[in-house]
């Protein structure tokens, strides 16, 4: 039985876009088929101890073969849009050079199936699966990767642009920079700390160059998907507020302000970045039609413990002692099975603060990811989570924030990066042994909620 929240959702605008999100590396599988090249995640997952349950994504949820079934799930859910990602190594196996026609053919079939089902395709061009051949040459630490990304964007737009209206360039460059290049917890597994900053700049440059490539192909609706959340200081002390400000700069402002304002938030930080930064910022700040926000939780941050020694752990991530800030656990809120605090009102806080900070430089916003990890098919906790966050979103809209859409993460349970298959974010349960899909209670709740919204 579907659990019904105490009060119905408020009415959203009739043209508000409802969708769900996935990513290629987490669901497609078929990593050794159709000429696909290796990705950095393929190599990372093959290294002992990198993935907590020892798994990999060679099969994942087998979306490559089962996409017709998944499109039917989308149609049954009643969403108007599907955000998926195109696997760069499936289209350009070495990251540059020869194009793999068979890989493009897959996305061609997927787009056609979505349109036939009445679902708009919203492809993300990069969701962390850097071609391994490029990674071996330096990955996002070198400028050439941004240029190769733009060339790849042109190839995909050339094939799909006649049917795709909306595009997303990058997904969460902050996480790839921090977890992949800074702390080594994600692919490519480098532990460079602040020497990872070139990866941030080159991803942003790649975004700007891809926007130019998409515009040249006639695209009129382009955004990106940055992860953001409020940063709360652990106390009002100068040390804690300074640590929180630095964390907020690195995780929020470093990735928003070059895009929205055409400048980095700190001149000293900008001086650490490679290349002709001032010229690059003109490219990075190419105008967007909308700005994607991935929201999961706020972060409580204080100064590091001067008596602390060695590494610490936060949210399952190993943190070195030399970091100049220390995330803390947020108490007093329910938690997901991933241990993340459930704070819907922080979404309102985030969106209102963005409107106040960026004013008319902030284009319309789309929530490109929001979701939670819970076990079970009768997932009342996920229903409560989605209900609470949608009401918080509506509150932000009532306060004047221009939000045009909301995408749930995720359609399917999937390969959850370094966690392997231990975390389930899907509206649809996947039995990984049989690949049987079973819609959860949250799927039915959202379907019914969307039907009610459609009634006007």
Known binding-site residues equal 26, 127, 171, 296, 409, 416-417
CA distance 263 to 283: 11
Which residues line the annotated binding site for substrate?
A: 26, 127, 171, 296, 409, 416-417
| Residue 369 annotated in active site | yes
Cα separation values, 336 from 137, 306, 429, Å: 39, 31, 17
- 135, 257, 286, 369: the catalytic one is 369
- Tell me the β-bridge partners of 194: none
Instruction: Give all strands (DSSP E) within 156-309, no chain letters.
Output: 166-171, 221-227, 231-233, 291-294, 299-302
Q: Which residue in the list 28, 172, 257, 349 is annotated as catalytic?
A: 172
Please give the Cα distance from 350 to 374 (Å, whole number). 24
**Token pair for residue 110?**
């997927």
Question: What is the C-alpha separation between 304 and 324, in angstroms, rounded?
Answer: 6
d(CA 383, CA 283): 41
- Vertex 218, ends 215 and 222: CA angle to 5°? 50
**To which residue do tokens 């306060």 refer?**
399
- Joined tokens for residue 8: 């119905």
Can 33 be counted among the known catalytic residues?
no
Q: Dihedral through CA 213, CA 271, CA 228, CA 161, nearest 10?
A: 0
End-to-end CA distance of the chain: 25
Summary count for the chain: helices (H), strands (E): 16, 15
Of 271, 260, 269, nearest to 207 by C-alpha is 260
Catalytically annotated residues: 172, 369
């Amino acid at each position: 039985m579907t659990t019904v929240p105490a009060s119905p959702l408020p009415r959203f605008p009739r043209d508000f876009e409802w969708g769900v999100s996935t990513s290629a590396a987490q669901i497609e599988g078929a990593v050794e088929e159709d000429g696909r090249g290796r990705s950095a995640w393929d190599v990372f997952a093959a290294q002992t101890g990198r993935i907590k349950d020892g798994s990999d994504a060679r099969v994942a949820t087998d979306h490559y073969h089962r996409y017709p079934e998944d499109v039917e799930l989308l149609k049954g859910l009643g969403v108007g849009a599907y955000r998926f990602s195109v696997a760069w190594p499936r289209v350009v196996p070495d990251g540059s050079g020869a194009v793999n026609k068979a890989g493009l053919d897959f996305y061609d079939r997927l787009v056609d199936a979505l349109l036939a089902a009445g679902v708009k395709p919203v492809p993300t061009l990069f969701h962390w699966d850097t071609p391994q051949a490029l990674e071996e040459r330096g990955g996002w630490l070198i400028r050439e990767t941004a240029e190769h990304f733009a060339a790849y964007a042109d190839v995909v737009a050339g094939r799909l642009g006649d049917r795709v209206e909306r595009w997303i360039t990058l997904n969460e460059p902050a996480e790839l920079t921090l977890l992949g290049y800074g702390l080594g917890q994600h692919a490519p597994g480098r532990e460079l700390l602040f020497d990872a900053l070139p990866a941030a700049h080159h991803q942003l440059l790649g975004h700007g160059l891809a926007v130019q490539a998409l515009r040249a192909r006639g695209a009129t609706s382009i955004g990106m998907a940055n992860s953001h959340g409020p940063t709360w200081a652990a106390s009002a002390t100068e040390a804690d507020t300074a640590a929180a400000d630095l964390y907020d700069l690195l995780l929020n402002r470093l990735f928003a302000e070059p895009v929205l304002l055409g400048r980095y938030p700190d001149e000293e930080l900008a001086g650490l970045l490679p290349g002709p930064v001032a010229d690059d910022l003109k490219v990075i700040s190419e105008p967007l039609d909308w700005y994607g926000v991935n929201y999961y939780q706020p972060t409580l941050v204080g100064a590091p413990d001067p008596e602390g020694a060695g590494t610490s752990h936060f949210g399952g991530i190993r943190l070195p002692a030399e970091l100049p800030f220390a995330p803390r656990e947020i108490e007093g809120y329910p938690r997901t099975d991933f241990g993340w605090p459930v704070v819907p009102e922080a979404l309102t806080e985030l969106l209102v603060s963005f409107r106040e900070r960026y004013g008319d430089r902030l284009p319309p916003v789309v929530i490109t990811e929001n979701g939670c990890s819970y076990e079970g098919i009768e997932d009342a906790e996920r229903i409560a989570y989605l209900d609470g966050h949608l009401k918080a979103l509506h509150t932000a809209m009532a306060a004047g924030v221009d939000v045009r859409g909301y995408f749930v993460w995720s359609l399917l349970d999937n390969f959850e990066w370094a966690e392997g298959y231990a975390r389930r974010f899907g509206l649809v349960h996947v039995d990984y042994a049989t690949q049987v899909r079973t819609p959860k209670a949250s799927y039915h709740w959202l379907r019914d909620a969307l039907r009610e919204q459609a009634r006007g």
